[in-house]
Amino acid sequence: MKKNNYIILLLSIFLIGCSETEKPQKYIFNSKDMDENIDKYTISNGLMDEINCGLTSLLFSKEILSIIKLNREFSLDDMMESTPTTIELYKDKIVWSDLGQVTKINKNKIVVKGLKNETIDLNLVINENNIHFKFIDKELVCIFPFKKI
Write out the DSSP string of 31-63.
HHHHHHTHHHHB-S--TTHHHHHHHHGGGGBHH
pLDDT of residue 65 exceeding 80, the answer is: yes
Provide the residue type at 43 as one letter.
Answer: I
Query: Does residue 19 register a pLDDT over 50?
Result: no
pLDDT at 9 over 90: no
Give the structural domain span for 81.
Answer: 22-148
In a domain, 4, yes or no: no
The number of residues in the chain equals 149
Q: Does residue 56 surpass a pLDDT of 50?
A: yes
Q: CA torsion 24→26→29→32, rounded to 10°?
A: -150
**pLDDT value for 50:** 97
pLDDT for 21 equals 67
| pLDDT score for 74 | 77
Give the pLDDT of residue 15: 47
**Band of the pLDDT at 112, cuts 50, 70, 90?**
very high
How far CA 107 is from CA of 70, 125, 147, in Å, comes to: 29, 11, 21
Q: How would residue 11 be classed by pLDDT, with cut points 50, 70 and 90?
A: very low
Element (H, E) at 97: none
84 or 19, which is more confident = 84
Q: What are phi and psi of 105, to 5 degrees?
A: -95, 120
8 belongs to a structural domain: no
Q: What is the mean pLDDT of residues 59-67?
A: 92
Domain-located, residue 32? yes
> What local confidence, expressed as pLDDT, does residue 18 receive?
47
How many structural domains does the chain have?
A: 1
Band the pLDDT of 4: cuts 50, 70, 90. Answer: low
